[in-house]
A = this chain, B = another copy of it.
Amino acid sequence: MAARLDEMDRKILAELQDDAAQSLDEIARKVGSSKTPVWNRIKRMKEDGVITRQTVLLHAEALGLEACFFVLIRTSEHEADWQAKFLRALQERPEVLEAHRLAGDIDYILKVRVKNARAYDIFYQALISEVRIFNVTALLSMEEIKSTTVLPV
């Protein structure tokens, strides 16, 4: 997975991140190459797992998902089967967009997108009834200042 990327690869990735709908000819022109090498490089980077997927990003508010919470979780349980159960619960719930296991006294952080505070509470009640959790703090986002999937290349 330690893919070696040269300058050309990185330029191509920058273009694809910016707009994956543009044509190969256009990308080739912008990065100063031609269609075939660009196509081969993209193919290789997909195979190597550098490019994981091609998708569209949607406007959450337009879909009626107007609330975003960051959830800080402490747990007293650290056994393998508890963790597996917790993990499965998160994977199953589409409102959980991100979940990280952390170092330090907070064990997990979640990013949760829901319709409103009521929907968050329903999610929260369902989660704690399914897996034992010691302590939860929810941070409510008032404003999404920045949100990007673009990684610096």
| A contact residues vs B (CB 8 Å cutoff) | 1-3, 5, 13, 16-21, 48-63, 65, 68, 70, 87, 90-91, 94-104, 106, 108-109, 113, 139-153
What is the copy number of this chain in the assembly?
Answer: 2
Given known pairs A62-B50, A100-B70, the reply for A57 and B149 (CB within 8 Å) is: yes
Shortest beta-carbon distance, A57 to chain B, in Å? Answer: 5
Chain B residues, Cβ within 8 Å of A17: 55-56, 58
Give me the 9 closest cross-chain CB pairs, A-B, nearest first.
Answer: A94-B152, A99-B145, A100-B141, A99-B146, A101-B143, A21-B54, A103-B140, A16-B56, A50-B62
Given known pairs A62-B1, A63-B5, the reply for A90 and B139 (CB within 8 Å) is: no
